[in-house]
Amino acid sequence: MAVIFQVEDGTGLTDSNSYVSIADMKQYWDNMGYDYSALTTDEMVQVLLIKHTRIIEGTYGAKYPGSRNSSEQALGWPRTGAKYLDGYTIESSVVPLEVVAAVCESAYAGTSGTELQPVDSQENIESYSVTVDIITETTKYSTPTGSKRPEVTAVKDALVRLIRFAKYGGTGIMRI
């Protein structure tokens, strides 16, 4: 079965599943000195870009400024009323270069061994057994580790003009 690959072009497509074209990803990786020679087919690159667009959407999409242009569009961009943190308006017909860079950086991290979609797991803390006569009761105490995604600094760096990240103990600092 062939991969269905549709790059968002700024019109709010209902079937887009990537913010980045193959050519744009390769150019970005070339500019950054990243090696994509292991990605031997266009289909491999398409799958990578689809997956990492979803990761960026799932991790940061709720933090994007403004609102989607349409409830029918497949992805979070383009948006209306969106502004950069420094106040400049983002046109409602574009996918910001910061989002494109975030997808490219996420894709690179994913091909470099960082697991960006970990599976929920549980980590046992302790186990207690109590025996009374011939009956033994064992209780295991565990805590879920959850599926917190690792933070990729290069992705956050790419999005820093769009999204305010908490710093310094969870409190954002603003100069007035």
Domain of residue 97 covers 22-119+148-159
| 85 within some domain | yes
Whole-Å CA distances, 60 to 29, 85, 138: 22, 15, 42
Q: Count up the domains in the chain and report the number.
A: 1
Q: Rounded mean pLDDT of 137-153? A: 64
Q: Does the pLDDT at position 169 exceed 60?
A: no
Residue 165's pLDDT band, with cuts at 50, 70 and 90, is confident
Residue 113's pLDDT band, with cuts at 50, 70 and 90, is confident
Q: Does the pLDDT at position 168 exceed 70?
A: no
Q: Does the pLDDT at position 144 exceed 60?
A: no
| 131 within some domain | no
| 58 within some domain | yes
Q: Rounded mean pLDDT of 133-161? A: 73
**Nearest C-alpha neighbor of 120 from the set 146, 81, 100:** 146
| 17 within some domain | no
Q: Which residues contact 34 (CB under 8 A, 6 or more apart)?
A: 108
User: Which pLDDT score is estimated for 139?
Assistant: 66
Q: Which two tokens stand for residue 78?
A: 């383009």
Distance of CA 80 to the CA centre of its chain: 21
Residue 164's pLDDT band, with cuts at 50, 70 and 90, is confident
pLDDT tens digits for 42-100?
999 999 999 999 999 999 999 999 999 999 999 999 999 999 999 999 999 999 999 99
Burial group, residue 157, by CB count within 10 angstroms (0-12, 13-18, 19+): middle
The percent of residues in the chain predicted with pLDDT above 70, rounded, is 74
| 14 within some domain | no
User: If DSSP codes are grouped into helix, strand and coil, which group holds residue 25?
Assistant: helix
User: Which pLDDT score is estimated for 37?
Assistant: 95
| 70 within some domain | yes
